[in-house]
């Protein structure tokens, strides 16, 4: 059988060639371990400069689940809970990692994968005494699991609401790059520091071999964070691997340039699908597309492509998930569109 091309995710390929080269070029340099190496220090500084937050703490970890469980468990008291959408990565795809740290996830329904103050408000009223957990943190991902984005206005509204209600706001930026370069996006790197308490900037899904950068703005959340990392096995002796990669990604504009390609490919794919007469479960905004196809089209697509089946719409139609990456070539998009 012909090898099928994968639109399953944005980490099907290895690393961007420039990152591999940087790893190779610095291979023989001797360095301190556990994130105290020159590369991590440089990468953290470049990130602080890019996001205009000179006082932020930056820590590198290997994956998104690890970042989420670390940030959430280090920020909350034992009886406090985190609010997220039902489709959130922490709610669906982290094998109960957050719950395993002892914190309940309060899952809320949304049509587009985004939280708003109006969606959160009833939960705060409902959780009224010591027989229930205390909602203390709001978790969002930007872009969301449905490929939608939080704009500056969305984030400002959530930020204001969180301040008024003594809630921490945490942004999972596994796909922050794809969100920041989205056509309809007006949020910039430098806006984020004033709007969230803590963030992680994704590398794994944007050209790195692996790695995420946790960025802490809230002074209280900074305290002894490295102790939490070490205790949970996240402080790697070879932290240099993250430093080298993030220093490369943030040396110039590479981090966003990579995502521009990713989103451009997704835009072309979305246009082709729409022009062929099909609709989407959520409006395509970044590199995750959720088109709805009849089953016979899906059978044909499966012969040449790999992708996730996201949701059954009805007996005839299924929503699938197509994801482009930094390495997606146009010819694969043309092939898919030709089939539909």
Ligand X SMILES: Cc1ncc(COP(=O)(O)O)c(C=O)c1O
Interacting residues with ligand X between 82 and 111 (CB under 6 A): 89
Residue 55 vs 233, nearer CB to ligand X: 233
Residue nearest to ligand X (CB): 64
> Quick one: which of 64, 147, 203, 284 contacts ligand X (CB under 6 A)?
64
Please identify, among the stretches 22-30, 58-66, 249-257, 297-305, the one whose residues bind ligand X according to the rule CB under 6 A: 58-66
Calculate the CA 99 to chain-centre distance: 20
Place of tokens 């939080």: 150
Q: Is 63 in the site for ligand X (CB under 6 A)?
A: yes
Q: CB neighbours of 184 closer than 8 A, spacing ≥ 6?
A: 149, 151, 285
Candidate ranges 64-72, 179-187, 190-198, 242-250; the one touching ligand X (CB under 6 A): 64-72
Question: Interface with ligand X includes 141 (CB under 6 A)?
Answer: yes
174 scored as a contact of ligand X (CB under 6 A): yes
172 binds ligand X (CB under 6 A): yes
Phi-psi region of 321 (alpha: psi -120 to 50; beta: other; left: phi over 0): beta
Phi-psi region of 211 (alpha: psi -120 to 50; beta: other; left: phi over 0): left
User: Tokens for 46?
Assistant: 């470049």
In the set 204, 262, 287, 328, which binds ligand X (CB under 6 A)?
204
Of 108 and 297, which CB lies nearer to ligand X in the complex structure? 108
* Binding flag, residue 228, ligand X (CB under 6 A): no
**Alpha carbon distance 157, 153 (integer Å):** 6
Q: Closest separation between CB of residue 177 and ligand X, Å?
A: 12
Distance CA 76, CA 68 (A): 12
User: Residue 252 CB, nearest distance to ligand X (Å)?
Assistant: 25
**Shortest approach of ligand X to residue 68 CB, angstroms?**
6
Q: Which residues contact 127 (CB under 8 A, 6 or more apart)?
A: 81, 106, 133, 134, 135
Token pair, residue 209, equals 């071999």
Binding residues vs ligand X (CB under 6 A): 63-65, 68, 89, 141, 172, 174, 204
């Amino acid at each position: 059988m012909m090898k099928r091309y994968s639109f399953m995710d944005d980490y099907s390929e290895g690393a961007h060639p420039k990152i591999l080269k940087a790893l190779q070029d610095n291979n023989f340099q001797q360095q301190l371990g556990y994130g105290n190496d020159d590369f991590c220090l440089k990468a953290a500084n470049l990130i602080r400069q890019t996001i205009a937050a000179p006082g932020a703490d930056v820590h590198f970890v290997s994956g998104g689940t690890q970042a989420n469980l670390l940030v959430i468990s280090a920020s909350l008291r034992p009886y406090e809970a985190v609010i997220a959408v039902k489709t959130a990565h922490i709610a669906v795809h982290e094998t109960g990692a957050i719950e395993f740290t002892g914190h309940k996830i309060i899952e809320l329904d949304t049509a587009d994968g985004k939280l708003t103050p109006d969606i959160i408000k009833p939960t705060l009223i409902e959780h009224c005494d010591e027989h229930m957990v205390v909602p203390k943190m709001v978790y969002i991902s930007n872009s969301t699991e449905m490929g939608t984005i939080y704009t500056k206005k969305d984030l400002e509204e959530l930020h204001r609401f969180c301040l008024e209600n003594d809630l921490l706001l945490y942004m999972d930026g596994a796909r922050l790059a794809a969100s920041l370069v989205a056509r309809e996006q007006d949020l910039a790197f430098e806006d984020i520091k004033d709007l969230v308490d803590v963030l992680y900037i994704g590398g794994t899904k944007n050209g790195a071999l692996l790695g995420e950068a946790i960025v802490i703005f809230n002074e209280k959340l900074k305290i002894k964070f490295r102790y939490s990392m070490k205790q949970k096995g996240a402080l790697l002796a070879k932290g240099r691997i993250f430093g080298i990669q993030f220093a490369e990604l943030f040396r110039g504009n590479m981090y966003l340039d990579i995502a521009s390609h990713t989103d451009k490919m997704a835009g072309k794919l979305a246009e082709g699908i729409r022009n062929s007469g099909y609709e989407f479960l959520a409006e395509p905004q970044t590199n995750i597309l959720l088109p709805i196809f009849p089953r016979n089209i899906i059978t044909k697509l499966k012969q040449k492509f790999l992708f996730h089946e996201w949701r059954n719409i009805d007996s005839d139609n299924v929503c699938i998930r197509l994801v482009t990456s930094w390495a997606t070539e146009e010819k694969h998009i043309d092939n898919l569109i030709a089939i539909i």
